[in-house]
Structure 1
Amino acid sequence: MVLCTCFFVPPLQAQESPEVDIGGALRFNYNLSSWKPEQKTRGGDFGYDLFRINANAAYKGIYLNAEYRWYSDGFGGGMLKQGWFGYHFSKNKELQVGLTQVPFGIQQYNSNNWFFNLTYYVGLEDDHDMGIKYIYTGEKTEYQLAFFKNAEELRFGNDSEISHSRYSYDVAGRNKEINQFNGKFIYKFGGNVLQRIGFSAQYGSLYNLDTEESGNHYGLALHYEASYKDWNLKAEAMNIAHNPENAASTPDDTILMAAYGAAYEVAADFNIYTLTLSRNVPVNWGPVSALQFYNDFGYMQKQEDDFEDSYMNVTGVLLTAGNIYTYIDYAAGYNHSWLGGNYIDDFSRGTPNANWEARFNINIGYYF
C-alpha cells in the first residue's frame, strides 16, 4: 500500500540543471595468515585490493547512485556493487529502484572492520538485490519496505545459474532467489545515549533449476545500536531458514552461496549473534586526525546437530589521515571459510575440533 500511495505525495522542488559527482577509491592490502606456511616464510604479501568508481547524479528530482568495483581476476574481477535510481517525495520519504541494499539488520554495516562481520559471509550484511524499496525516515521512527525480484542477474539464460562474480553473497548453484519481500522498523530514543532498536523480516522463494519448483527462505532479526560520546555499540540476533525444493539426489540441509568469483556451502538453517564495540579517538599526529578502535564478534549456531558452529572475531583500529583510511586488523576464525580451514564447507558441516586460525591484515586506501 505504501509503495503505491507514495506516488501521490507532492514531490520536492526539482533542480533545473543536471548535477554529477564522480568519486572512487584505490586500495592495497597486506596480509599474513596463520594457515599459509610459505606466506609466513615470506613475511606476508602486499598487493592490489581494488579500484572503484562512484557516481552520483541528479536532474529534475530523479537521482542516481552507482558503484562499480574492479578486483583481481582471482576475486571475481569487475562487478557492480550497487546501482539504483531514486526519488524523494518529501524530505523523509524516498523510493529506490535497481540494485539497492536489502533492508535487513543493522545498516549500512553490522561491523567496523575491513573484514565485515560473520553476517556478511552468509548474505546478511551489506547485501544488494534487484528490486524496489520505499524508505521513511522520521524523528523517532524509521521503516523500509521492499520487493526484490531476484539477486543480481548477469546471464539471463533459461536455466543458467547466477554468476559468481558479485560483491554480496547470494544463493547460488541450482537454486535462485526470487520474489523476496522485506520489512524493517526502527524506533529511536535516548538523550545522552542515542539508541536505535529495530526488527527486520524477509521472506522469498528459491527457484530450483532441476525440479522447476519453488521452495522458500525467510529471516528474522532483532537489532540494537547505542552511541554515547565517542563510543558505539551494535548487537544483533538473527534466525535464518532455507527450504529448497532440490532434486532427490541433492541434500537440503545445505545451500550454495557465491561471491568474489567462488562458491561455498552454508548451513540451510542457523542463528547468528553478533556484538561490536568501537571508540573514536581524535588525535593530532601530523596527517593522522582520528583513530577508531573496535572489536567485532560473530557466532553462527547451526541447526543440524552434526554441524560444527562457526565463530569470527576481529580486533583492530582504523586510522584516518586526510583522504587515506587504513584498517589494521587481527581477524580470527573458527570453521570460517575465509579464515583458514576448509573453504568449501566450513560454513556448513565444518570440522570437529578445528583450529582457530588468524590473519593479520592492513588495508590502505585513498578515497576521492
Structure 2
Amino acid sequence: MKRIYSLPKFTSAFLLFLGINLFGITPVIAQEEPEISVGGALRFNYNLSSWKDGQKDRGGDFGYDMFRVNFDAKYKGVYLNAEYRLYSDFFGGGMLKQGWMGYKFNKQDEIQVGLTQVPFGIQQYNSHNWFFNLTYYMGLEDDHDMGVKYIHDGKKIEYHLAFFKSSEELRFGSETESSPSRYSYDVAGRNKEINQFNGKFIYKFVNKSIHRVGLSAQYGGLYNLDTKETGDHYGLAAHYEFIGDRWNVKAQALTASHNPENAEGESEDVLSFAAYGAPYQVAADFNLYSLAISRNIPVEWGPVSNLEFYNDFGYMQKQKAGFEDSYMNVTGVLITAGQVFTYVDYAAGYNHSWLGGNFVDDFAKGKPDAKWEARFNINIGYYF
C-alpha cells in the first residue's frame, strides 16, 4: 500500500516542449494538486542447491534478499517513477532499477525519459517465477537503459519507439568499463552499448480474454574501449501472450547477434555481460525460445487469497559450432496473503551460470558433459 503526500508545485517545461514538438499531440490537463506515493518491499530468501555440498549438509540457507523503495510523483500530467534497491554487497549493493520522468499527452500516448524499460518482447515480464526466464540473463527481459521512449497504447494497436544512448552508465571516464552493480544485464567489459534504437508493435484481440500478438526489433552500437571502433548488435523477436480469467500464456522466439570490434587476439564469439556485481560470458549469436504458463486459483485460507501455479521454460540455441546449448525450467507457485507474496520455486538449469556448473562461461561455450542442476527456492516478500 502506497502513502500519498502533497508536494510543492513544480514545472516540467522540457518534457512538455519535447512532446508537443516531436509528436504534435495536445496535452491533457491532469490533477491540480501535486502528489507523491511511496512504496517498497522487504524480501528474504531460502535456498537449497544441488551443486553446493556444504549447503545440503546444513539443510539450505535462509537470509536477506533485498529491500527496495518506490517513488511515484505526478503533477499536471508530468510524472516520476523510480525504484531503488539495496542488495548485499556480494550481489552488487545499492542500485537504481529504474528511474524516469514521463508526460501523458492523452489516455493513449506518453513519453518517458531516463532509465526506462527497453521495449522488447513480452513485458513487463516474460515469466511468472522469481528467477525470470532465460531471456533475463541475456539482457532481453525487464532490461532498463538510459534514453527516451514513446508509447501509444490503443484499444487494438500498441507500439513503442525508443532511443537509448547507453545502458545504466555509472562511470563517466574516457575508458572506464561499465559497472556490474546493476539490476538488468547489459554488455560489459571492454565493450559498451551505445545508440540503440527499439521498436515494438502489438496487435490486441479482446473479447472475454486478451490476446497480444507482437513483433520487436532493436539495433545498436558496441563501442570497444581498446580499438575505439564501434561494432553493432541486433535482436528480433516474435511473441504472443494470452491473458484469461485465470490462465496466462507467454510464448516467444527471438534471435540476437553481437558483432564487436575487439582488439586483435580477442575472441568475438563471446561477450561479457554483467549485473548483480559480477560479469560472465555470453555467446555472441544465439536463438532463444521460451514458453511460460500459469493458472490462478482463488482460495480462502485465512490471509491466503490466491495461488498461482506456473511452469516457465527457456531454451538458448547457440550459433557457434562447438558451443553447448543452455536450458532453464522453473516450476512453482506464487502464494498471495495480503501484502505478503511468496514464491516457491524449483529451478533447474543446464549450462546455466546461476544454476550450477561454471558461472563464467555456461552461457558461452558451456560444457558437453554438463549435468542438470537444481535449486529449491522460497522467496518471501512484504510489499507496501
Q: TM-score, normalised by structure 2?
A: 0.94
Structure 1 segment 273-312 matched on structure 2, within 5 A: 273-312=289-328
Task: Give yes or no for contact 2:331–2:346 (8 Å, CA) kept in 1.
Answer: yes
Cα pair 1:3 1:134 within 8 Å, conserved: no
User: What SS is found at the alignment partner of 1:347?
Assistant: coil
* Per-residue Cα deviation, 1:15-64 (whole angstroms, up to 9, x for no partner): 22211100000000000000000100000000000000000001232110
- Residues 178-197 of structure 1 aligned to structure 2 (within 5 Å): 178-197=194-213
In structure 2, relative to structure 1, the CA distance for the partners of 1:22 and 1:190 (3 Å cut) is closer
Compute the displacement of 1:192 (Å). Answer: 3.3
Contact residue 270 and residue 302 of structure 1 kept, 8 A: yes
Match 1:161 to one of 161, 171, 177 = 177
Counterpart mapping for 1:108-187 below 5 A: 108-187=124-203
Q: Report which stretch shifted further, 298-307 or 190-199.
A: 190-199
Equivalent residue number for residue 47 of structure 1: 63
Structure 1 residue identity aligned to 2:42: L
Query: Equivalent of 1:20, from 5, 17, 36?
Result: 36
State the one-letter code of the partner of 1:205.
G
Q: How does 1:12-91 map to 2 (within 5 A)?
A: 12-91=28-107
Do the aligned residues in 1 keep the contact of 2:43 with 2:64 (CA within 8 Å)?
Answer: yes
Percent identity reads: 72
**Contact 2:77/2:105 (8 A) holds in 1:** no
Give the counterpart letter for 1:229 in structure 2. Answer: D
CA contact (8 A) 2:19 2:25 kept: no
1:92 aligns to 2:108 (yes or no): yes
Q: How does 1:336-347 map to 2 (within 5 A)?
A: 336-347=352-363
Separation of aligned partners in 2, 1:183 and 1:190 = 23
The structural deviation recorded for 1:93 is 0.2
Q: Does 1:237 align with 2:253?
A: yes
Match of 2:368 among 330, 352, 359: 352
User: 1:6 touches 1:89 (CA, 8 Å); kept in 2?
Assistant: no
Distance 1:87 1:256, change over 3 A: same
Separation in structure 2 between the aligned mates of residue 269 and residue 47 of structure 1, nearest angstrom: 37
- 8 Å Cα contact 1:99/1:152 also seen in 2: yes
2:265 to 233, 242, 249: 249
8 Å contact kept, 1:332–1:357: yes
Give 1:107's aligned residue: 123
Query: Which residue of 230, 243, 246 maps to 1:214?
Result: 230
* Counterpart residue identity of residue 350, structure 2: Y
Show the counterpart of 1:199: 215
Matched residue count = 367
Partner deviation per Cα, 1:182-223 (whole Å, 9 max, x = no partner): 000000014234211000000000000000000000000000
Question: Counterpart in 1 of 2:377?
Answer: 361
Q: Which amino acid letter does the alignment assign opposite residue 227 of structure 1?
A: I
- Per-residue deviation, 1:5: 5.1
Gap runs ≥5 in structure 2:
1-17
CA shift digits 1:155-191 (9 cap, x unpaired): 1001100001000000000000000000000000142
Cα-to-partner distance string for 1:226-260 (whole Å, 9 max, x where unaligned): 12321111100000000000001210000000000
Of 280, 283, 287 in structure 2, the residue corresponding to residue 267 of structure 1 is 283
Q: Which runs of 5+ in 1 are unaligned?
A: none
Instruction: Determine if contact 2:216/2:238 at 8 Å carries over to the other structure.
Output: yes
Aligned-CA RMSD value: 1.1
Q: Write the distance in 2 (CA, Å) between the matches of 1:101 and 1:133.
A: 9
- How far did 1:363 drift? 0.1
Contact 2:103 2:111 in 1 (8 A): yes
What letter is aligned with 2:266?
T
C-alpha deviation, 1:3, in angstroms: 7.0
Distance in 1 (alpha carbons) for counterparts of 2:22 and 2:32: 23
Which whole-Å CA distance do the structure 2 matches of 1:331 and 1:217 have between them?
30
Query: What is the one-letter code of the residue matched to 1:157?
Result: G
Question: Could you say which residue in structure 1 is the equivalent of 2:14?
Answer: none
SS at structure 2 position matched to 1:90: coil
Aligned 8 A contact 2:298 2:305 in 1: yes
* Cα offset, 1:7, TM superposition: 4.5
Distance 1:337 1:59 in 2: 44
Give the TM-score normalised by structure 1.
Answer: 0.98
